[in-house]
Amino acid sequence: MLTSRKYTEFDLIGIPLRVIPVQTVAAVGYMLVDALMPAYQTLVMAYFINTATHIVNGRAEYSLIYKPLALIMGYVIVTHLLPSLMQLVELTGRNRLNVRLKREMVLKRAQLEYQHIENKETAELIHRVCGDPVGHFMGGFNNIMSGLNLLIGTASLLVIVMSSTFITGIVIVLVAVPLFYIAMKTGKANYVLGMDAQRIRRRSADLAHILTSRENAEERTLFGYSPALRDRYDKLYDQTYAVEKKIQIRSFIHLKSGSIIALLIGIIIVALLLPALHLGELTIGLYISLVTAIFSLVQRMSWQLAETMQEHARMKEYLKDFSAFAGLSEKMDAAALPMEIDGFVFQSLEFRQVSFRYPDTERYILNQCSFTMVSGKSYAIVGENGAGKSTLIKLLTGMYDNYEGEIYINNRNLREYSYPELKSIIAVVFQNYARYALTIQDNVRLGDILRLDEERIRHSISKMNLSGMVQGLEYGLDTYVGKIKENSLDLSGGQWQRLAVARLLYSSSAIHIMDEPTAALDPIEESRLYEMFSSIRADRFTIYITHRLGAARISDEILVVRNGRIAEQGSHEQLLEIPDGIYGKMFASQKSWYEAESMVQHG
């Protein structure tokens, strides 16, 4: 359903018609019936008044009043019963459309090239479009139905008016055209202002999270930053309020001015009908009904129809965003499951003159970077923050493929591997590892989604020293973690990290990468975790990415990254022997941490 193309107002009907055809047809049918009700009411009321007048004047039998009364009763039943039934129909349709749209949006986001996730502008676009898609589409569909309802209802009343006085109908049409134009222009401007308000509101929501979230409670109390951040929050709130007030004032002025003009025109039109009444071209019943209908028409012209046109203009702007989102480039097979390569055994990894810069930037993060890694060894890639360490992993895992040079795994060009194949042979624990609000078992199983092996899960948990925690829980591995469910377990930072590493241990991938997942740990705990991981995953090729040297000392070989290339390479001891070496300086600056560790371990 979600394809790369331009989406228009027709899709506001076309998409619901494909997904919820019964509800859509019912809504269209109800719209047609409801649209003709004003004209029906006008004619029926004229019939009733004329009949009652004839009866009072003795020119008709009392029995003739029953027919117009029955027609009026039918109007009352339809206008009071159908809306309630349609609410039920719309609810079921909304739920089905919500499931379908959300699934399509989630799939699209999963297939996006990684550059769109890291780009600020496209991230804003994704947030705007995906925030409430069903609200926009159902709102747009209902708005079109409302617009057609008003247009058909207005046209039917115009037919009645023009059948008696053609000039009056022309005047009404001439008044309506500028009101529609003003409404469309206001709606487009309001959508643009609404985008600004949304950006500000998102920033204020981030501050609100800091001021109220449970995980920040200790630091809020310790540092006492709440008043300062609250002032910033208040300023952002005031900015949002100012923008939204501007939108409301602009809408009110345009709509209210149009309402006053239309009301004056309505009074003039009513006056223009008096000669026709006097000459007998209009019956008293039709005149009274037309007066009522004309003021109803004025109300539709000045408020309802103008608001509908404004909403239509806003929806056109949303559809532009939706089309831009649908057109964002995708990564082939990004959402596909991992695909194992029969008999794959890791032998070597090589970067040959690899250069890379992020999209829409000029600076090369990697600059002719070359190195080789072979099986049977563990490696550490070290360097200062921003040196390009994590970028190496993004290229290796296929997140970006617009690099210069070549990358090889087992002497096969990385670009020849499909993305599902890369998923099966490489597993990573990132610095900002995910904290899934799932069961403990599911958190670990995500490391190898293709199979369920509870024994392997328990083994991975045991190796990360989490068995004691699990054994004390009522539901064991089926206990939810996080803060979502009432009986879920709230893990500490260290426990979350161990769970993330357990997920990596459960993976059957041939290449395991740890991208600074222990940055928040103290050096002693960091080294212990790395040593634990190294001892239990000796059968896997392992790469450690870090700017701290706990992992480096236990690695067979260390690669030092500086200015986008490998500046030094060798074992811990070899690198320390390089005079004025980069690694030697880094280790000297952190030496006291690891001397303290040694004293603790041997003290």
CATH number of the domain residue 498 falls in: 3.40.50.300
Beta-bridged to residue 382, according to DSSP, are 546, 560
**Greatest mean pLDDT among 156-160, 250-254, 308-312, 367-371:** 367-371
Would 331 be classed as within a structural domain? no
My answer on whether 318 and 409 are in the same domain is no
Contacts of 190 (CB under 8 A, 6+ apart): 247, 250, 251, 310, 313, 314
My answer on whether 354 and 314 are in the same domain is no
My answer on whether 320 and 399 are in the same domain is no
My answer on whether 376 and 511 are in the same domain is yes
My answer on whether 144 and 225 are in the same domain is yes
Would 66 be classed as within a structural domain? yes
Q: Measured over all CA atoms, what is the biggest interatomic distance in the chain, rounded to whole angstroms?
A: 122
My answer on whether 259 and 391 are in the same domain is no
Judged by DSSP in three states, 487 sits in: coil
Q: Which two tokens stand for residue 42?
A: 């006008």
409 vs 161, 346, 382, 396, 426, CA distance in Å? 80, 8, 21, 9, 11
My answer on whether 267 and 378 are in the same domain is no
CA distance 258 to 320: 28
My answer on whether 320 and 436 are in the same domain is no
Beta-bridged to residue 569, according to DSSP, are 559
Q: What is the mean pLDDT of residues 570-590?
A: 87
pLDDT digits (tens, 9 = 90+) for 314-346: 888 889 999 999 999 988 888 888 888 888 899
My answer on whether 430 and 509 are in the same domain is yes
Is residue 550 over pLDDT 70? no
Position 601 scores a pLDDT of 47
Is residue 301 over pLDDT 80? no
* CA neighbor of 421 nearest in space, from 503, 542, 343, 337: 337
Would 401 be classed as within a structural domain? yes
My answer on whether 74 and 163 are in the same domain is yes
Is residue 15 over pLDDT 60? yes
Would 3 be classed as within a structural domain? no
My answer on whether 294 and 216 are in the same domain is yes
Among 268-277, 369-378, 518-527, 594-603, whose mean pLDDT is lowest? Answer: 594-603
Position 4 scores a pLDDT of 85
Q: Which two tokens stand for residue 367?
A: 């600059």
Would 340 be classed as within a structural domain? no
Confidence of residue 517 (pLDDT cuts 50, 70, 90): low
pLDDT digits (tens, 9 = 90+) for 466-490: 888 888 888 888 889 887 666 778 8
The alpha carbon of 134 is separated from its chain's Cα centroid by a whole number of angstroms, namely 11
Among 78-82, 487-491, 535-539, 581-585, whose mean pLDDT is lowest? Answer: 535-539
Is residue 193 over pLDDT 60? no
Write the Ramachandran bin of 409: left for phi over 0, alpha for psi from -120 to 50, otherwise beta.
beta
Would 341 be classed as within a structural domain? no
265 touches 298 (CB < 8 A): yes
Is pLDDT larger for residue 85 or for residue 300?
85
Domain count along the chain: 2
Position 376 scores a pLDDT of 87
- Average confidence score pLDDT of the chain: 81
Would 333 be classed as within a structural domain? no
What are the E-state strand segments in 414-460?
A: 426-429
Is residue 545 over pLDDT 70? yes
The domain of 541 spans 348-602
Alpha-helical (H) ranges within 273-368 are 274-278, 284-299, 305-326
Would 342 be classed as within a structural domain? no
My answer on whether 92 and 21 are in the same domain is yes
CATH number of the domain residue 56 falls in: 1.20.1560.10
Beta-bridged to residue 428, according to DSSP, are 513
Judged by DSSP in three states, 526 sits in: helix
AA letter at 595: E
